[in-house]
Amino acid sequence: MRPPALERLGFYPTANVVVELLKTYFQPAETGRLLDPCAGEGTAASILARALNCHSWGAELSPSRAAFALEKMDRLFNAPWQSCHLTNESVTLLFLNPPYSHDRLGDQKRLELEFLKSTTPKLMRGGALIYVVPHPLLRDLDVASHLAGYYENITVHRYPETEFNQVIVLAVKRLKFKMPSNEEVQQVQAWAEVEPPLLAEAPEPLYTLLPSSDKGAGGQPVRFSRLDWQSEEIVDATQKRGVHSSKEWMDLINPSRGLGEFKQPVMPLKKGHIAMCATRSLLNNCLA
């Protein structure tokens, strides 16, 4: 990744005009769930989610961009995607515009491939994929094999008005993984050698989004959470919602807090009432 890209943490947002065109390719869900693991400022995800009747979930590494995304998306973590947990097969639509680079700290695999591999299990069977990547990446054997094995109804479109040579891959996740043949893998790779059609408004939706469910793979409840927290975030969360602010804790450190105070009755006590109170305490200490 070049120095300017490193400064931006690989962030190059999807243009609004592209997002508006992408909306026309999908039949909105009854109630769907969209995942954007590289959310940026949350603009693309929020536009798509509103148009396609989806809840928008995501992750964003940059604190400044995450602050904007939090205002637009339904749920977002200011954290790397790898530090988040999401139940498998719980997402209706996967919107993936990953950083374009190699993993410099890992096995040197392309980050575009690593994000695709880590997010594909989160997509429901029959769920839809939007994959924005460099055009030559389709030549990569691992990328081509993954797309051919896990996805079907694949279409490739040229990204309009960009300084990069990008394409947009649209596809549907297979109901069951299929070991791709050499011909199927080569078909994906061949798309890297030809100029795909320019992304344009679809006359009618090509893909239908499935409704989301509160259950994921194996009937597990859908859960989206963060696995790691910075020390500053732990302190902030503790101060706002820590155990020290609970009623139980306050009662424990201040026993008199839970005791009732003597209040003057509405009507003054009569002599008989006073006598009963006095003798009751005396009689309780007497032995028969």
Confidence check: pLDDT of 6 > 50? no
Q: What is the full DSSP assignment across the chain?
A: --HHHHHTTT--PPPHHHHHHHHTTEEPPSSEEEEETT-TTSHHHHHHHHHTTEEEEEE-S-HHHHHHHHHHSSEEESS-GGGEEE-TT-EEEEEE----SB-TTTT--BHHHHHHHHHGGGEEEEEEEEEEEEGGGGG-HHHHHHHHHHEEEEEEEEPSS-SS-EEEEEEEE-SS-----HHHHHHHHHTTSS-PPBP---SS-SEEPPPP-SB-GGGPBP-EEES---HHHHHHHHHHH-GGGSHHHHHHH-GGGGSPPP---SSPPPHHHHHHHHHHHHHTT---
Question: In the chain, what are the domain boundaries?
Answer: 3-228, 233-283
What per-residue confidence (pLDDT) applies to 7?
43
Confidence check: pLDDT of 260 > 60? no
Averaged pLDDT, 180-201:
96
How confident is the prediction for the chain on average, in pLDDT?
87
Confidence check: pLDDT of 108 > 80? no
What's the fold here for domain 3-228? Rossmann fold (3.40.50)
Give the model's confidence band at 3: pLDDT under 50 very low, under 70 low, under 90 confident, else very high.
very low
Confidence check: pLDDT of 196 > 70? yes
- Higher-scoring residue by pLDDT: 125, 280: 125
Condensed to tens digits (0 to 9), the pLDDT of residues 35-50 reads 999 999 999 999 999 9
Condensed to tens digits (0 to 9), the pLDDT of residues 66-81 reads 999 999 999 999 999 9
